[in-house]
Amino acid sequence: MASTTAIPDLDRLRPAGTKRSSKRDLIVNVFLKQEGHLSADDLVVLIKREDERISRATVYRTLQWMEEAGIARKVDFGEGRFRFEHSYRHPRHFHLICKTCKRSYEFLSSDIESLVEEVAAARAFTANQSVVQIYGTCESCSTGRAPEEPSNSELLFARDALRIAIATERSGMEFYGRGVKLVKDPRAREIFRKLATEEVHHLKTLEARYDELLKQDPLLESRPTFLFFKGAANGLFAAGTDQLRRDGVDDLEAYRIGIRCERGSHRFFKRYGARFEDSEGKQVFLEFAEEEREHLELLIREYRALVKRQRTPGHKALVAPKRPKAVRAKARSRTASR
Ligand SMILES: [Zn+2]
Ligand SMILES: [Zn+2]
């Protein structure tokens, strides 16, 4: 995985007809190594340290160029001047801004984003950018504890994306494990077992990737949460597992519940992943979305095949006969005690 200090292909970004300038390359390199939010003057100071012949005007011009080229993003913290952060492999995010020490902390929240989308849709508003800034006092300023060192948001994003994907895999595994015990059709049982096994493999791959990521920063596990994630795909499969426990769930219903879970999961990871700038976290989401799509398609195919088989004359064993209430209740208490 490339780290945030990896340099984008400047030749590709350079406007046609302009020549490569070593001054500009130097400014871009210095800028991309910064994790925080710099004012133009902060950058001038850093550049002067490297090469004092580079003028303030050149730094300003280059910043403007970087913004147009999509390497830098302008952020307004309400201080009467803009700050800049690099956007190369750096997902869009929200900010917590300390009024005392002026430090800013980055975070993302899928729940805030979906709320914004909901509001915009309800008002038929086409939103193309939302800015969330929370002003107040940071932990360090209110407790006197040492401030957290700035961390690489790409790594944090990848860490959190992996954690979410791992949690989803785990609940998917439970869902299919539960399904194996429930379905009666031998073919359906085989499919649920296959999917449960696949989730175990995916889980192992994701966990290996997570361990790889931790090697890049020994403190990564203990750093604060970057991606807040409550709603959306979270708990999708857990809810599905609960539905499987309900009374009267036959094989077709089990497939339908699985289809709903996989579809929801696929949509979430795809839509959420598509929004981000190129990064490890984006990759995790998009690859995961792809796996969920394969599962979804398999389930839909198998669901249709089962419907067909059940319609075939003489194929009666697959439709569970309606049992009297008392028997069903007994069956339920058996399941519950398992
Ligand atoms: Zn502070
Ligand atoms: Zn930021």
Tens of pLDDT, residue by residue over 125-140, are 998 778 889 999 999 9
**Rounded-to-integer distance, Cα 236 and Cα 170, Å:** 11
Confidence of residue 1 (pLDDT cuts 50, 70, 90): very low
Residues whose Cβ atom is located within 5 A of ion ligand 1: 98, 100-101, 138, 141
- 322 CA to centre of own chain: 44
Q: Write out the E strands in 62-155.
A: 72-76, 82-86, 94-98, 104-109, 133-136
Phi, psi of 97 (to 5 degrees): -120, 125
Residues 227 and 164: beta-carbon distance below 8 Å: yes
Segment 144-168 shows an average pLDDT of 85
Minimum mean pLDDT among 100-109, 225-234, 263-272: which range? Answer: 225-234
Q: Do residues 227 and 160 lie in contact, with contact meaning Cβ atoms separated by under 8 Å?
A: yes
For the CA of 87, the nearest ligand = 2
Please answer whether residues 183 and 302 qualify as being in contact, where contact means their C-beta atoms are separated by less than 8 angstroms. Answer: no
Amino acid at site 29: N
DSSP 8-state assignment for residue 296? H
In the chain, which ranges are E strands? 38-39, 72-76, 82-86, 94-98, 104-109, 133-136, 227-228
Which ligand is in closest contact with the Cα of 156? Answer: 2
The residue among 17 and 308 whose pLDDT is bigger is 308
Query: What is the C-alpha to C-alpha distance for residues 271 and 208, in angstroms, rounded to an integer?
Result: 25
Q: Ligand 2 being an ion, which residues bring their Cβ within 5 A of it?
A: 85, 106
SS3 percent helix, strand, coil of the chain, rounded to 5, is 60, 10, 35
Cα atoms in the Cβ-side hemisphere of radius 13 Å centred on 249: 22
3-state secondary structure of 92: coil
Ligand having the closest approach to the CA of 102: 1
**Can you give the pTM of this predicted structure?**
0.74
Rounded alpha-carbon distances, angstroms, from residue 329 to 92, 333, 335:
52, 6, 10
Ligand nearest to the CA of 138: 1
3-state secondary structure of 46: helix
What distance in angstroms lies between residue 139's CA and the mean position of ligand 1's atoms? 7
Task: Note the pLDDT tens digit of each residue in 240-290.
Answer: 999 999 888 999 999 999 999 999 989 988 987 887 777 778 888 899 899
Sequence-distant contacts of 74-82: CB under 8 A, at least 24 apart: 75/37, 76/131, 77/37, 77/102, 77/104, 77/133, 78/133, 78/135, 81/39, 81/40, 82/39, 82/40
Range 21-44 average pLDDT: 88
String of DSSP letters for 179-206: HHHH--SHHHHHHHHHHHHHHHHHHHHH
CB atoms within 10 A of CB 183: 25
